[in-house]
Structure 1
Amino acid sequence: MIQIISGEKGEGKSKHLIDMANKKVKETLGHIVYLNNDREHMYQLNYKIRFIVVDEFPIRNCREFLGFICGIIAQDHDIDYIYIDGLLKFTRLSVEEAQNFIEELLQIGEKYNVHFVIGMSCKNKDIPEPLKSYLIA
């Protein structure tokens, strides 16, 4: 399953993602992973959530980021949710280009039973039409 939260910088996407993750950790029996580009929000997350600073790893493009996510899933078969706070930044893709990447995440999620909640810095109107059904905010 894929859920997308979009909005421009400063509109509260990270806060929304953090609130969702903190709520979900109380409801799920599986593990939760939160991917961010810095440690700014680290202490706002429940201690049971695995927080990963993506910028600490040499990820240069969307293929490497996809491999990174697959590696996370491969090392922990109990992951239920992965929160990605800043997909476009991590993948270095435009909103339009992100569609194929998100479709790949959907396939991975279905295969390994992982839910992805994605924060994207863009306006809702800029989200490609096939992805609009995943918008939750």
Structure 2
Amino acid sequence: MVRVIMGVKGTGKTKQMIELINSAVHSENGNVVCIERGNKLTYDIHSKIRLVEASHYDMGNFDFMKGFISGMYAGNYDITHIFIDSLTKIVGVDPADHSVEVFLDWLSKFSDDNNIKFTVTISADESLATEGVKKYF
């Protein structure tokens, strides 16, 4: 399962993400991971959540992100939910770029194959979303 939360700055994406992350720690039977850009969530999320600061790993494209997620899962099969905050800012692509849709489709297949949930935020106006991205709203 892949869920996308999309909106411009100030629409409450981060607040919604924090609530989802903190509730996941109580409802998930496995480990929960959050990949973020910067350290804005450090004090707002439960200490049991594995927080990954993306800039420490130079995630410059979706191929790197795929390898990173695959590697995290290979090292810990108990991961049940991965949150990705500000996906397009982490990778450095335009939110309307077709590669976002391709990556979300890959996440969906990875999710189905490995029984992991993904929740992703994208900082952009929802009107910029392609039909392929909208199917994950």
Residue matched to 1:16: 16
4+ residue segments displaced more than 4 Å: none
Shift of 1:59: 2.2
Query: In 2, Cα distance between the equivalents of 1:60 and 1:102?
Result: 16
Query: In 1, Cα distance between the equivalents of 2:133 and 2:53?
Result: 26
TM-score of the aligned structures, taking structure 2 as reference length: 0.92
Matches within 5 A, 1:1-137: 1-95=1-95, 96-97=97-98, 98-135=100-137
TM-score of the aligned structures, taking structure 1 as reference length: 0.92
User: Is the contact between residue 62 and residue 92 of structure 1 (CA under 8 Å) also seen in structure 2?
Assistant: no
Percent of aligned pairs with the same amino acid: 28
User: Is the contact between residue 8 and residue 122 of structure 1 (CA under 8 Å) also seen in structure 2?
Assistant: yes
Unaligned runs of 5+ in 2: none
Give the number of aligned pairs.
135
User: Is the contact between residue 85 and residue 118 of structure 1 (CA under 8 Å) also seen in structure 2?
Assistant: yes
Query: In 2, Cα distance between the equivalents of 1:7 and 1:111?
Result: 29
Query: In 1, Cα distance between the equivalents of 2:73 and 2:126?
Result: 29
For the residue of structure 2 that corresponds to 1:120, the secondary structure is strand
Of 125-134 and 23-32, the range deviating more from structure 2? 125-134
Shift of 1:77: 0.3
Unaligned runs of 5+ in 1: none
